Amino acid sequence: MGHAHESNTKKIWIVLIILTVITGVEVWLGILKPDSLHLSNFLGTSWLNWIFIILTLVKAYFIAWSFMHLEGEKTLFRRAIVWTPIFLICFLVTLLLTEGGYIYDTLGPLVKW
């Protein structure tokens, strides 16, 4: 192995606690749905949704960095496998969500309720 590995069981348990707490907060907010966050609007969606998305990215960070041990990989390798998909995903999501919004704007008014 390219990197020296020291046992870090303590850190693993800390990450488990962090992930559990974040999931707990997400579910708690998801059940409560406070109106101030839920009915607000910021950049196309509610603040509540932004909180969910940000917390999800934090969880993803911990899983990839700690569990998948990306922190121990060589910097260039890490950048190659992290930033390539992030760039592609941002690109795709931007295009598709814009397109989805456009379809709604165009077809939505034609639907009779």
Tell me which residues touch other proteins (CB under 8 A).
Answer: 1-3, 5, 7-9, 12-13, 15-16, 19-20, 23-24, 26-27, 30-31, 38-39, 45, 49, 52-53, 55-56, 59-60, 63-64, 66-69, 73-74, 76-77, 81, 84-85, 88-89, 92-93, 96-97, 99-101, 103-104, 107-108, 112-113
| Least distance from other proteins to the Cβ atom of residue 43, Å | 14
**Beta partners for 42?**
45
The phi-psi region of residue 33 (left if phi > 0; otherwise alpha if psi is between -120 and 50; otherwise beta) is left
| Least distance from other proteins to the Cβ atom of residue 76, Å | 6
In angstroms, what CA-CA distances link 60 with 13, 54, 77, 82, 100? 16, 10, 18, 12, 26
